Amino acid sequence: MNGPWPGGGTLEGAGVLITGGASGIGAAAARRLAAAGAKVAVVDVAAGPAQDVAAEVGGYALVGDVADPAVMPRLVAQAEALFGRLDLVFLNAGVVAHQSGTSELDLADYRKIVGVNVDHVVYGTSAAVPALRRAGGGTIIATASLGGLVPIPSSPLYTLTKHAVVGYVRAAGAALADDGIRMCALCPGFANTRLITDRMDQFADFPMLSAEDVADAMYTMLDRGQPGEAWYVQPGRDPGPYGFRGVPGPIGGVRPPRLTSR
Per-residue pLDDT tens for 188-234?
Answer: 998 776 654 555 455 455 678 999 999 999 999 999 999 999 999 99
Listed residue (250, 255, 213) closest to 231, CA to CA: 213
Is residue 250 one of the residues assigned to a domain? no
Known catalytic residue at 219: no
CB burial of 181-195 (b: ≥16 within 10 Å; e: otherwise) equals bbbbbbbbbbbbbeb
Is residue 4 one of the residues assigned to a domain? no
**What backbone phi and psi angles, to 5 degrees, belong to 186?**
-100, 125
pLDDT of residue 245: 81
pLDDT of residue 198: 55
Domain span including residue 99 = 15-241
Q: Which residues does the chain have with pLDDT short of 70?
A: 1-3, 6-7, 193-206, 251-262
pLDDT of residue 193: 64
- Which entry of 60, 110, 123, 158 is annotated as an active-site residue? 158
Determine the Cα–Cα distance for residues 222 and 3; give it in Å rounded to an integer: 9
pLDDT of residue 255: 47
Is residue 249 one of the residues assigned to a domain? no
Extract the runs of DSSP E, i.e. beta strands, from the chain.
15-19, 39-44, 60-63, 88-91, 138-143, 181-188, 230-233, 240-241
Listed residue (138, 133, 126, 125) closest to 38, CA to CA: 138
Is residue 92 one of the residues assigned to a domain? yes
pLDDT of residue 190: 84
pLDDT of residue 260: 36
pLDDT of residue 251: 64
pLDDT of residue 49: 98
Is residue 66 one of the residues assigned to a domain? yes
Report the domain count for the chain.
1
**What backbone phi and psi angles, to 5 degrees, belong to 114?**
-70, -40
CA 226-39-45 angle, to 5 degrees, is: 90
Is residue 262 one of the residues assigned to a domain? no
Is residue 47 one of the residues assigned to a domain? yes
Listed residue (81, 161, 152) closest to 120, CA to CA: 161
Report whether 88 contacts 40 (CB < 8 A).
Answer: no
- 240-241/230-233 β-pairing: antiparallel
Residue 239 in 3-state DSSP?
coil
CA 257 to chain centre: 21
Determine the Cα–Cα distance for residues 150 and 164; give it in Å rounded to an integer: 12
Query: What residues have CB less than 8 Å from 76, skipping those under 6 apart?
Result: 17, 86, 89, 124, 127, 128, 131
> 214: domain CATH number?
3.40.50.720
Is residue 10 one of the residues assigned to a domain? no
Per-residue pLDDT tens for 74-88?
Answer: 999 999 999 999 999
pLDDT of residue 194: 60
